[in-house]
Amino acid sequence: AEPSDDAPTIFDKIINKEIPSKVVYEDDKVLAFRDITPQAPTHILIIPKVRDGLTRLAKADEKHIEILGYLLYIAKVVAKQEGLEDGFRVVINDGPSGCQSVYHLHIHLVGGRQMNWPPG
């Protein structure tokens, strides 16, 4: 089920460094760290440091347009940093049908192997 908009998630603890993560990129707006259950040789999560109501993409408002674009741009920056010049995939899982498990919007950056389509 979908938690309430102000329920904290595990990502708050990762942002605050209360639990460790393998950070690959950080600035004042976003954090990128390795997924604890990687689905490919490279599997990185890119998240806004301030959730600001953005539990899931379906909750996006006009005020989120700038951070949404920035997250996607940082996905490209990190893909280059990871050496994924042959290609990669970015995914946002939204809501129950989209298999979202953490309600703090995040982009999955996945690569380092051949991806398949359709994803299933």
Q: What residue ranges bind ligand 5GP (CB under 6 A)?
A: 10, 21, 33-37, 45, 93, 99-102
CB 41 to ligand 5GP: min, Å: 15
Nearer to ligand 5GP, 85 or 101 (CB): 101
106 is catalytic: yes
Q: Can you read off the two tokens belonging to residue 19?
A: 């639990």
CB of 10 to ligand 5GP, least distance (A): 5
- The encoded tokens of residue 102 equal 């953490």
Among 43, 64, 106, 108, the one annotated catalytic: 106
Euclidean distance between CA atoms 39 and 51, whole angstroms: 25
Minimum separation from the CB atom of position 17 to ligand 5GP (A): 12
Catalytic residues: 106
